[in-house]
Amino acid sequence: MSLNIPLLKEICEVAGAPGYENRVREIVLREVTPLVDNVSVDKMGNVVAVKKGSTDKKIMIAAHMDEIGFMVTHIDENGFLRFHTLGGFDPKTLTAQRVIVHGRKDLVGVMGCKPIHVMTPEERTKNIAITDFFIDLGMGYEEVVKQVSIGDPVTRQRELIEMGNCVNCKSLDNRVSVFVLIETLRLLKSHPYDVYAVFTVQEEVGLRGAGVAAHHIEPDFGFALDVTIAFDVPGSKPHEMITRLGEGTAIKIMDASTICDPRMIAFMKQTAGKHKIKWQPEILTAGGTDTAGVQRSGKFGAIAGAISIPTRNLHQVIEMADKDDILATIALLKNCINDIDGFDWSH
């Protein structure tokens, strides 16, 4: 199997800040509708695609559609924009980066801040803050207010490219998982339980969509799909790496919002071994995923875990993942769905 790079590119490059996932949702609906028995959009905007199995047990798989972004909070008298973050950003990665302001029409802007040439010696030693930035649209106030309003979302502008055996783009978090879930649905032929493939909203601002979906679905089993940190670069220590690129998909043990069910961890390890899928363990001590919503929001909870794609430069302007790790994630998810009724879940 090879990756459908044109589809991955389309999914990653499209804009979809938290609460404004409509462009991503259109692609998801186009791709999944022919692959499932039923598809719907709930009141929050989650896409719920159902592929029926042979029993009435339910598997929920969550992949969030939103990306970290911004919201316009102020337009000054010279046409410069101030903004609030939607999700977590590393401020140092924003300097002089292009963004897209989604007003009446899409406008390219540039993140600006005070030039180093005019900084005082004290300012040069300080870490730059998000509040030090503004967005420059290259237009004056009168032109800007014709197109931009307070509350308009802003996203990063970066195209997907291939580098070695990797893909590099903005919003691999978490569009690569959206892609993985679509491609897994494409491969499923017959499976024991009903599969609820849920493309969730507003994960980056508090796992909001997954909780609503799990509350409605009440799954017996749950999987979240997301990226995780690969800090396998110069300057890192072995205990800091979390995961490494090229070492396989990651089976989550815990993150800051979830301790995964030991039964699910054991099942995923067993499935990876049975099908000779390369994998690595993941313990993420800071940051959470939709796993928490899937695990805890149904009436009786769910036996839940997560499959993660190792990613460098996470929550920065560009992110990078290995193609083989993405393929391993698809393979593990597909085989977990197919083999889930053959595992002893009693202990």
- Could you give the 3-state DSSP secondary structure of residue 318? coil
Asked if 203 is an active-site residue, the reply is yes
- Could you give the 3-state DSSP secondary structure of residue 140? coil
Q: How far apart are CA 137 and CA 28, in angstroms?
A: 31
Per-residue confidence (pLDDT) for residue 43, from 0 to 100: 97
Element holding 70 (H helix, E strand): strand 69-75
User: Which one, of 196, 94, 221, lies nearest residue 154 by Cα?
Assistant: 94
Take residue 107 and report the two structure tokens written for it. 């406008």
Band of residue 166 on the pLDDT scale cut at 50, 70, 90 = very high
**Within 10 Å of residue 119's Cβ, how many Cβ atoms?**
13
Q: Indicate the pTM of the whole model.
A: 0.95
Q: How far apart are CA 158 and CA 297, in angstroms?
A: 35
User: Which one, of 328, 19, 327, 323, lies nearest residue 155 by Cα?
Assistant: 19
Q: Which of 21, 183, 203, 282 is catalytic?
A: 203
Take residue 194 and report the two structure tokens written for it. 């009903």
User: Which one, of 288, 286, 332, lies nearest residue 307 by Cα?
Assistant: 332
Per-residue confidence (pLDDT) for residue 201, from 0 to 100: 98
Per-residue confidence (pLDDT) for residue 235, from 0 to 100: 93
Per-residue confidence (pLDDT) for residue 140, from 0 to 100: 96
Asked whether residue 182 carries a pLDDT value surpassing 80, the answer given is yes
Per-residue confidence (pLDDT) for residue 210, from 0 to 100: 96
Per-residue confidence (pLDDT) for residue 130, from 0 to 100: 87
What Å distances lie between residue 82 and 41, 93, 130, 169, 257, CA to CA?
Answer: 33, 17, 10, 25, 31
The answer to whether the CB of 200 falls within 8 A of the CB of 62 is yes
Token match 């499209």: residue?
14
Per-residue confidence (pLDDT) for residue 124, from 0 to 100: 77
Per-residue confidence (pLDDT) for residue 331, from 0 to 100: 98
Token match 């909070």: residue?
73
Q: How far apart are CA 247 and CA 242, in angstroms?
A: 12
Per-residue confidence (pLDDT) for residue 29, from 0 to 100: 98
Domains and CATH numbers, the chain: 5-67+170-342 (3.40.630.10), 70-156 (2.40.30.40)
Backbone angles phi, psi at 167, to 5 degrees: -110, 145
Per-residue confidence (pLDDT) for residue 54, from 0 to 100: 85
Per-residue confidence (pLDDT) for residue 91, from 0 to 100: 86
Per-residue confidence (pLDDT) for residue 56, from 0 to 100: 84
pLDDT higher for 324 or 286? 324
The answer to whether the CB of 243 falls within 8 A of the CB of 323 is no
Per-residue confidence (pLDDT) for residue 4, from 0 to 100: 97
Q: How far apart are CA 50 and CA 198, in angstroms?
A: 9
User: Which one, of 4, 11, 3, 13, lies nearest residue 28 by Cα?
Assistant: 11
- Model confidence over 76-113: pLDDT tens digits? 999 999 999 999 888 888 888 999 999 999 999 999 88
Element holding 221 (H helix, E strand): strand 221-229
Query: According to DSSP H, which parts of the chain are helical?
Result: 5-13, 22-32, 121-125, 141-147, 172-187, 208-217, 262-274, 291-296, 323-339
Asked whether residue 121 carries a pLDDT value surpassing 90, the answer given is no
User: Which one, of 182, 201, 226, lies nearest residue 315 by Cα?
Assistant: 226
Q: What is the mean pLDDT of residues 20-26?
A: 98
